[in-house]
Amino acid sequence: MLIFTLFKIDEARHRDLLQAYLQEQHRLDESAYTLRVFPNQFGYSYSLTLDAEPNISYNFYGKRRDGIMHVVYNGYDAKKTIGLRDREFEATNYALLDTLFK
């Protein structure tokens, strides 16, 4: 039970970080999307579905660098549709990755 509680607290912190990132960098309010979390071997992956694009899931994950957690965009999944926010997320992502891996 303790492990589950710690997992939920840690996941909530990461979710808050992602939501703040989406609000600050992309002007996306929480009411404009649905967010699902998936634990993985590196932490958490997030699948973001915008209300305006219900057939597309944008994927993000957390990346820790020098003790600081950063949000990294990891592409999108769609069926015969182009993600309208893909280029925007990628542009921000490249700038972030450039600073993370210098």
Tens-place pLDDT, residues 29-64: 999 999 998 877 767 889 999 999 999 999 998 877
Which pLDDT score is estimated for 97?
65
- Mean pLDDT of the 17-26 span: 89
One-letter amino acid of 86: D
Which pLDDT score is estimated for 21?
87
pTM for this predicted structure: 0.79
Burial of 30 (0-12, 13-18, 19+ CB in 10 A): exposed
Whether residue 9 has pLDDT greater than 60: yes
CB 59 within 8 A of CB 76: yes
Per domain, the residue ranges of the chain are 2-100
